[in-house]
Amino acid sequence: MGKYDKQFQQLNRNPKIAQALKNRAEKTRAAAQRISDAEGGTAHYRVVSGVRPGGRAYAYVVSDNRDEEFGTEKTKRIGALRRAARGG
């Protein structure tokens, strides 16, 4: 294991990093919810976070309405999560 590998592992186990990931995911979740609501969507979003087996923290946003995110023949594509992640 190289010097930088060890530093990378230590950094990723830092609780402040995990909290920063959660905070960013929560901002994205809130933005996606606002976009969906503004366009008449029904999706709800939640943040999933944890630590991978190798020790790396993660946080991501999940939608409960796939059809609204990607669109179908019967459902208008809103793409709120995609737009929120891009800062829209």
Look up the pTM and report it.
0.84
Q: Token digits for 42?
A: 């029904």
Quick one: 54 exposed, middle or buried, by C-beta within 10 A (0-12, 13-18, 19+)?
A: exposed
CB 43 within 8 Å of CB 80: yes
Q: So what's the pLDDT on residue 2?
A: 65
Task: Break the chain into its structural domains and give their ranges.
Answer: 3-85
pLDDT tens for each residue of 25-51: 999 999 999 999 999 999 999 999 998
In angstroms, the CA 78 to CA 58 distance is 26
In angstroms, the CA 25 to CA 60 distance is 6
